[in-house]
Chain A
Amino acid sequence: SVKTQQQEPRMNRKKDKGFESPKSVIGYVELTIFPTVVNLNRIKLNSKQCRIYRVRVNELEAPFIYNDPTLEVCHHESKQRNLNYFSSAYTAAVSAVDPDAGHGELVIKVPSELWKQGDDLKVLKVYIEFSLDQPKGGLHFVVPDMEGSMAERGAHVFSFGYQNSTRFWFPCVDSYSELCTWKLEFTVDASMVAVSCGDLVETIYTHDMRKKTFHYVLPIPTAAPNISLAVGPFEILVDPYMHEVTHFCLPQLLPLLKHSMSYLHEIFEFYEEILTCRYPYACFKTVFVDEAYVQVSTYASMSIFSTNLLHSAMIIDQTPLTRRCLAQALAQQFFGCFISRMSWADEWVLKGISGYIYGLYLKKTFGVNEYRHWIKEELDKIVEYELKMGGVLLHPTFSGGKEKDNPTPHLHFSIKHPHTLSWEYYKMFQCKAHLVMRLIENRISMEFMLQVFNKLLSLASTASSQKYQSQMWSQMLLSTHAFLKSISNVSGKDIGPLIKQWVDQSSVVKFFGSFAFNRKRNVLELEIRQDYTSSGTQKYVGPIKVTVQELDGSFNHTLQIEENSLKHDIPCHSKSRRNKKKKIPLMNGEEVDMDLSAMDADSPLLWIRIDPDMSILRKVEFEQADFMWQYQLRYERDVVAQEEAISALEKFPTPASRLALTDILEQEQCFYKVRMQACFCLAKIANSMVSTWQGPPAMKSLFTRMFCCKSCPNIVKTNNFINFQSYFLQKTMPVAMALLRDVQNLCPKDVLNFILDLIKYNDNRKNKFSDNYYRADLIKALTNSLTPAISINNEVRTVDNLNADVRLILEEITRFLNMEKLLPSFRNTITVSCLRAIRQLQKNGHIPSDASLFKSYAEYGHFVDVRIAAVEALVDYTRVERSSAELQWLLTMVHNDPVHYVRHEILSMLCKNPPFTKTTTDSALCNEALVDQLWKLMNSGTSHDWRLRCDAVNLYYTLFGLTRPSCLPLPELGLVLNLKEKKAVLNPTIKPELGVGTVMDTPASIGIHGFNTMEEEDIDMETVHDSQAFIHHHLNLLERPSTPGKEPPSVEQSMLSMPATPVPSFSKETPSLSSKHSSEHGHHHHHHHHEHKKKKKKHKHKHKHKHKHESKDKEKDRERDNSHAYSNSPASGRSLRSPSLSD
């Protein structure tokens, strides 16, 4: 109901003033609002952690309430500890301030003098003064602790966040669908550069000449979440190819910046060409910052990258990664920034399109093989995730907003808001989105696809130059509906079924295929079965492509998968093997000679592929004979087929498989990633064949032939990595070889010595590339060679009883790790590898298990990759040793570490490698204190970072599951209720009954958890004292209209034993915050006024903000209005505790 047309944030960043604390911001925001409804007497904005000093509307002081229900999701006195309860409360809290629903943390009352004006839909100007002191989220300050001025220290600050998080650093309508134009001004120290969205119009010194103000104008309508800021003593590089593009990096890194950015113009050209559309903004800025939240984050006309993406020309492995990041950022400039989403449910379209065009870039730059390999990788990833965790739903619809219609009941979080999503789920969501775009492309052709994109961009481009009043700006927002309509208009094709299958519905398809050849009928009898009952699977009905390679050629067949038909008869073309000498035509037209002796003499079939183009999101488990996989590996030219064949051959440890893999390894025309995969498969096969293996260890002679000196085969050639394919192979082969095991299940002595020799003779002096990744991989090879130590009666590991081989390995690792201190390698790859090796040595019992080394490397002040590796080791240590001290150490770091990414990684690693899980209940680590600690962490400790909070939720889920953690003591009252209610009762929260007296007499409360899949109801009861206080509190807080006799019948059962059981039912009443209703409700609540006052008194000490109020009456009115507004959410009970009310 509210439209903002222009925002003018103006910030003074104070960083190095002695009298003020560093890391603070003061600023003001001016919003120009065009009312679209009459009666606009309240304006809701988003704002978190800002201190708001005053608000004025059209020059008149306006009273306001600032209230953030997500600060503490569940009331801190609550003894509720089940995750279901938390998740619904959290969702409700996020909903309560959801800008897309017209809500916000900051409610401004329009002064009554202006109501008349508002009725005429006249423009309102809202002016807000605010400050931020040491913000925990939204803005990140990096201030190295050393001597010198801020500029000399490389101190900088940048905005960050997961999804719409701009509210963390200035009050705004923090929605992707609320567009406005911007004027931005930033006053910073004269030694700093402020980079922000839009065009830098001018830079002006302040009067004392010690600061300067950067004036930006962004004339293209942009949503607040797409606004960002980076301030620092940046080195500036104007792109030599595109002068509108400016790059910024931290001091001393300019040479790296020059090299890393030398390629960007080609990405620009590529996107502009395929989209036949100019880059939408007048300029583009890339900023490289330290301690980045994510590697790439992109905003209107600028992107913020991690400084660790910068690299010199000597670095091979980082180069493609950095280019990929740049390409991703740029793709999102078109779709995500310029074109924004209509609602959260439409997110998949934007992520899908940007991911899809990024894929096209990959295809063009890195080749079709790389592209297909990537698609397979992404497909495998999403399939694995969905089969394990349950479906990923791209386009959720929430009919009526009722929680019981939850489209994803299998998840422990709500997908209703981006801020409640688990990070991993969101990554998978993006992955699925671009795969589905590719499916659409398969259906309507790439040409049409690009036409659709072009159309969307041209519409948006036209709209962007219009005035707000023209109502055109909505063209810049993309919805699922508009996208599908555009597709149907352009292509004339109906992609409804496809959308229904993959977008409106979650899950993937799981096929099992097998076949028989009927010689008499010369027919291939193919059977394709599906598993659609397991979690994360769905039933597929429709066409499927099957490719059959026969002696006479390759043939495509399209089969229809129907409800009840499993068998498909496919007629074969080749009669039999008549002409042995004849060349065999392949799919790509190539004709090759094959040795056909391996195949079945009766069958003309060489190999069969199901859905070769990956046009279904599926997993295929196909059974065919080993020789068929071998033919497929050798002769099928598609890298995906080759990779599938390699995976399948793991199950066939035969000399023929060995030969096929070795041949592939040697074939230089073969895609290097296939050859790398073949290395690992060969190692597995060799281990399975260990008793019959002939000749030297697998790959050894091959490596010698490819990389060692002709004259002395035990010495590797001096490094020359000019051929990247062989470089990657040279790196991979030792790692795979180290996985070889002899009959005693030890790494063969030969292999270990070979690797040690590679390290010894490694000589990089003549190489123009750095060998840091190669050396890191050699250490990885040493690590892989380790096997568990033979321990005699659990003796303590000492230097003396060290195994001789391990001594050699340790010698190398010590030297590498020490040399790294003197000559650090790029991204400290060597240290990372060494830390992993040391952990592996500990884990295998060769050296004493000890966490102190890892702790020192995990400390702030080491390079982030090193820290992550150390944390990984610590997480592993915690699990293996069940160490409570280390777990505490890690959790403390989650609280205190300055780097958000490290905090996030600690929690995700604890989820991946948990110290215990919900199924192992005997762990000593699992205790009440830990439950409380983690509960506190997700409840209130992570309110500044959506992602971190979701990580904490994930960890809680991994450790304790959805219900009340089993390690908690039984409730004191010992009441057992068995509510066999089949209807899902969500959001077990506690509500006061009507009669105050009754509640006061009932010294218990029950949290009811009732998912229909659960056997037992989870009942959470508290001590008499606690529940009394709790209920009392709620009574005072919640000014609900009395609803006598409204309890659901289910509860009545429990009432027998415990009268007046509060029952959750808030979802029945959707919060109606729209201003139209406010007066009505205000009236309704009049009789609760005295209670309200009581509450006010009680929580006076919580008030933080200073306001001026014109009249006490008004304040009371407003209070009433607002106190109602939040009363429907469980969070509201808490939320009203800290409104900014004062006299």
Chain B
Amino acid sequence: MADPAVASGGSLNAGGRGSGGKAASSPAENYYLARRRTLQVVVSALLTECGFESAEKAAVETLTEMMQSYISEIGRCAKAYCEHTARSVPTLSDTVVTLIEMGFNTDTLPVYAKRSQRMVITAPPVTNAPVTPKALSAGQKRTHPAHIPSHFPEFPDPHTYIKTPTFREPVSDYQVVREKAASQRRDVERALTRFMAKTGETQSLFKDDITAFPLIAAQPSTIPYLSALLPSELELQTLEETDSSEQDDQTDSENAAGNIINDDPGADKENSMLPPSGGVPSTKATEDNVIDNPYLRPVKKPKVRRKK
């Protein structure tokens, strides 16, 4: 720890136990004030070392501020380097890299540290480290289970991982749910169709009031059978959802109950899917390659001798 600031910081922590009883507004504030005072002493000592006899308070204050900023920056930067390499505690190299980054010539540091006219500063008074205010405690903090070594970090506060049982019971009355779903859907549909009717061409059933019961105008399409025959995306989606859900079970149980003989349940199930992945039972899929169907054969090149 060649860094004077860090060293002095360490000594700040080491000493200063005596001044714990000082009256202050809060312990945390006390702690920071004490450290700031130490820093001021350091700045003053350095000034003395440089040959100053006295200094204006404001100047000392400014210099202290600069010093603090500089040290904080070193710390922040060093921590960033350390975290970058997935560690939690900065090492010497982190600090060195930081200093270099900040344009400081590290080679000059040992010489400076060993200079003769160096002043020794007494340790700052010890103050209590600030206690982070306790978050709303929720439940008992869990201890490590037996298989986790004790040196591992403790569990975080329970509120971060347990459910907070503070919500209201939702309405589970079937009738209300259905009612709600129905009116919601109706509202959406009505709003949507009204919007479409407002923005596009409409037809009306009444001559006196063409805005009452607006009908979206009938638009001929070029290939009308496509939309009429192909299931809409919504329907396909519904099908996918229900395919794996309880309705399949119903089918099975009902089929069994009704004694419906199904020689090939696989094929049947496949038929019920849309779009069926292959349309071919898996066993047949391999045969597919050898199907000789004239429509699958490649088109031949015209023969040269043929004249047309």
Contacts and interface: CB of A to CB of B under 8 A. Distances in A.
B223 A715 contact: no
Interface stretch (A31-39, A204-212, A883-891): A204-212
A723 interface: yes
B205 A838 contact: yes
A259 interface: yes
Interface string B212-248: 1111111111111111111110110011011101111
Interface stretch (A466-474, A639-647, A820-828, A906-914): A820-828
Contacts of B250: 720, 722
B53 to A, nearest CB: 88
Contacts of A254: 275
Contact of A307 (B229, B232, B271): B229
Contacts of A860: 220
Contacts of A145: 222
A409 interface: no
A170 to B, nearest CB: 20
B197 interface: yes
Taking residues whose C-beta sits less than 8 angstroms from the other chain, chain B's interface range is 35 or more
A206 B300 CA distance: 9
B251 to A, nearest CB: 6
B274 interface: yes
A810 B245 CA distance: 36
A715 B175 CA distance: 8
Nearest to A867: B224
Interface in A739-773: 760-761, 763-768, 770
A272 B40 CA distance: 108
A827 B229 contact: yes
A881 to B, nearest CB: 15
A359 to B, nearest CB: 23
Interface residues of A, number: 93
A62 B80 CA distance: 102
Nearest to A258: B279
Nearest to A829: B228
A814 interface: yes
Interface string A249-273: 0101111101100100000000000
Nearest to B258: A723
A986 B189 CA distance: 65
B116 to A, nearest CB: 87
Given A310-B229, A313-B272, A720-B250, A764 B238 contact: yes
A818 B219 CA distance: 12
Interface in B267-308: 267, 270-276, 279-281, 284, 288, 291-297, 299-303, 308
B209 A799 contact: yes
A828 B291 contact: no
Contact of A240 (B217, B275, B279): B279
Interface stretch (B22-30, B121-129, B140-148, B178-186): B178-186
Given A193-B295, A798-B206, A237 B279 contact: yes
B174 A709 contact: yes
B220 A712 contact: no
A856 B178 contact: no
Contact of A856 (B203, B213, B288): B203
A252 B230 contact: yes
B301 A205 contact: yes
A818 B174 contact: no
Given A797-B206, A827-B228, A204 B300 contact: yes
A800 to B, nearest CB: 8
Interface string A809-835: 011001101110111101110000000
B192 interface: yes
A863 B231 contact: no
B84 interface: no
Nearest to B284: A240
Contact of B232 (A193, A811, A823, A847): A823
A711 B174 CA distance: 8
B229 A765 contact: no
A259 B276 contact: yes
A761 B178 contact: yes
Interface string A288-319: 00100000000000000001101111100000
A236 B288 CA distance: 14
B308 A207 contact: yes
A861 B220 contact: yes
B206 A847 contact: yes
Interface in A190-228: 190, 193, 199-207, 212
A822 B174 contact: no
B229 A810 contact: no
Given A313-B272, A712-B175, A853-B215, A243 B231 contact: no
Nearest to A721: B247
Given A799-B212, A821-B196, A847-B206, A205 B302 contact: yes
Contact of B239 (A310, A715, A768, A797): A768
A262 B271 contact: yes
Interface string B168-180: 0000001100110
B271 A243 contact: no
B207 interface: yes
A566 interface: no
B37 interface: no
B216 A821 contact: yes
A852 interface: yes
B300 A722 contact: no
B215 A817 contact: yes
A312 B231 contact: yes
B224 A861 contact: yes
Interface string A849-888: 0101100110111111100000000000000000000000
B154 interface: no
B276 A255 contact: yes
B190 interface: yes
Nearest to B297: A203
Contacts of B216: 817-818, 821
B208 interface: yes
B199 to A, nearest CB: 12
B215 A852 contact: no
Contact of B225 (A290, A767, A847): A290
A203 B298 CA distance: 8
A1041 interface: no
Nearest to A204: B300
B182 A760 contact: yes
Contacts of A761: 178, 182
Interface in A169-205: 190, 193, 199-205
B203 A819 contact: no
A1054 B96 CA distance: 136
B93 interface: no
A792 interface: no
A8 to B, nearest CB: 15
A848 interface: yes
A823 to B, nearest CB: 5
5 contacts: A243-B291, A246-B295, A253-B229, A715-B179, A800-B208
Given A262-B270, A313-B272, A860-B220, 20 more contacts: A154-B223, A193-B295, A200-B295, A202-B300, A238-B293, A240-B280, A243-B293, A258-B275, A259-B274, A711-B175, A712-B175, A763-B182, A814-B214, A817-B215, A818-B196, A818-B197, A823-B232, A850-B205, A856-B217, A862-B224
Interface of B: 174-175, 178-179, 181-183, 186, 189-190, 192-193, 196-197, 203, 205-209, 212-232, 234-235, 238-239, 241-243, 245-248, 250-251, 254, 267, 270-276, 279-281, 284, 288, 291-297, 299-303, 308
Interface of A: 144-146, 153-154, 190, 193, 199-207, 212, 236-238, 240, 243-244, 246, 250, 252-256, 258-259, 262, 283, 290, 307-308, 310-314, 709, 711-712, 715, 720, 722-723, 760-761, 763-768, 770, 796-800, 810-811, 814-815, 817-819, 821-824, 826-828, 838, 841, 847-848, 850, 852-853, 856-857, 859-865
